[in-house]
A and B are shown apart, each in its own frame.
Chain A
């Protein structure tokens, strides 16, 4: 094998093993920063040895053993140092090296459990949200600091600083590195799901011509979602989230026009939707529902996305079902935007008057005051109800509010269609 090929192979191995390696080491030394350093050390050792010896049969175990040796060396050195200091003061006779025994014991723990624990740690609520995101991408996703910086329109120094600070916070928090259980688990899981969805949405909001690392965040979030679902196979919302992002990702190729502007769901070319991802999303949704999680916030949003995914043409959309799902979502995740979407669903399912009734109830919501979709929806209901003059006013208002040029042009044309 050529030298560069070996190099590539080692890097690929390390990418595959990195998260598990750090996870195992972190539980051992109870320090994420040290764990990452030990993992890097192991990689350096591999880079110097493997080109001569070849890639070992079980590279993951090899790397773990190398890192573990480094950990023990380091601990011994620290112990010796401590002992020398201690000898001056008092006799330490009889003390046993319990630290090493602990390390040996910790090595035998379940690997999947360790990775899950690391995911929970990286998304720990003691950290600010952007630190959780950066740390998750770094430790679990294996992205470099530079890649994370480019993905979030930031610079490398800022992200590096953010990661350093996050690791310090974690160290000072005195965490157990156990997978949270019981009541705590629910709250901690919510944070993990939020981080993954945030990463996904960052990628989803990427526009044409941007650094390719940004849309790649969607793929990264999908991978994280799949890993999480694999590690927590009894958590319905893990599958709810996975379903949601798989289905949303299925539309990536169809949602932008050649000029880079966003194409609304109902106007997308559905032949460009990725059927494989839709199938995977629907399967994940089935699983979430089978686990009793049909009413979870992510599962409900996934179920809404699924209604669109199942319709081969926009005209075949099951709006009655969508309206019913919004009824539930309104209770589970109350928000003015959910209210507005519910009104739209009602207008599609039961006619414009139903939409107007609902929109009347939220007309004064402060959050929607300058929100273009609000007058756009109202204009649409009025137009379909034959109240053209009123509709025109709403379309014009919406056109003035939107920043999207393509949408503005569309709204202006709708206003013009109202005549007078």
Chain B
């Protein structure tokens, strides 16, 4: 199964504080372990939300909101995409991660939807419509 592993933001990450040399090194080592275990598919760090934007939807309305955003703890500072056997394996790997922040921090693990999750809910017609939509988006 694929999981997205989200490093949650803190005051420090939101302030754009760069990780120490030690943390960089420890994180590099951890990433190496993920690679040699064959589970790391992708991953990157995100700039503070001050550099980001949001688009709010309300019916036909679209409002662009500039960062920074409040609720620091709910923001994301980095992510990985892993391929693991189950959630327990992902939890064990996350426990091995060096604390990504200078202070207390949180990492969240979220399994991705897979085709099998949709198959029950989707009739062939809906599935085809879904594919057609994706095709339109891709050809743009």
- Contact across chains for B38 and A223 when beta carbons are under 8 A apart: yes
Listed in ascending order, the chain B residues whose CB lies under 8 Å from chain A are 35-39, 41-42, 81, 83, 85-86, 88-89, 91-93, 115, 124, 127, 131, 134-135, 137-139
- B89, A230: Cβ atoms closer than 8 Å: no
* Docked CA distance A253–B135 (Å): 15
Which of A15, A253, A270 is close to B85, meaning CB atoms less than 8 Å apart? A15
Knowing A226-B38, A230-B38, A231-B36, the reply to whether A276 touches B81 (Cβ < 8 A) is: yes
Are A230 and B88 interface neighbours, CB within 8 A? no
- B86 neighbours in A (Cβ, 8 Å): 12
Q: Counting CB contacts under 8 A, is A266 at the interface?
A: no
Residues of the A chain whose Cβ atoms lie less than 8 Å from the Cβ of B139:
312-313
Q: Mark A284-316, 1 if CB is under 8 A from B, else 0.
A: 000000000000000000000000000011000
Residue of B83, B92, B124, B134 near A258 (CB, 8 A) is: B124
- For A, the interface residue count at a CB cutoff of 8 angstroms equals 28
Give chain A nearest CB distance to B94 CB in angstroms: 11
With both chains docked as a complex, state the minimum distance between the C-beta of B109 and any C-beta of chain A, in angstroms: 12
- Given A16-B89, A16-B93, 20 new contacts (CB under 8 A): A8-B88, A11-B88, A12-B92, A15-B89, A16-B37, A112-B36, A223-B37, A223-B38, A226-B38, A227-B37, A230-B36, A253-B115, A270-B135, A271-B131, A271-B137, A271-B138, A272-B131, A276-B42, A280-B41, A312-B139
List chain B residues, Cβ under 8 A from A325: none
Residue of B whose beta carbon sits closest to that of A112: B36
Q: Does A224 make an interface contact (CB < 8 A)?
A: yes
A226 to B115, CA, bound (A): 23
B35/A226 in contact, CB under 8 A? yes
A8 to B135, CA, bound (A): 41
Tell me if B92 and A9 are in contact (CB < 8 A). Answer: yes
A-B contact pairs, 8 of them (CB 8 A): A11-B88, A15-B85, A15-B89, A16-B92, A222-B38, A223-B39, A226-B39, A271-B138
In the bound complex, residues from chain A placing their C-beta under 8 Å from that of B41 are 276, 280
Q: How far is the CA of A370 from the CA of B27 in the complex (A)?
A: 56
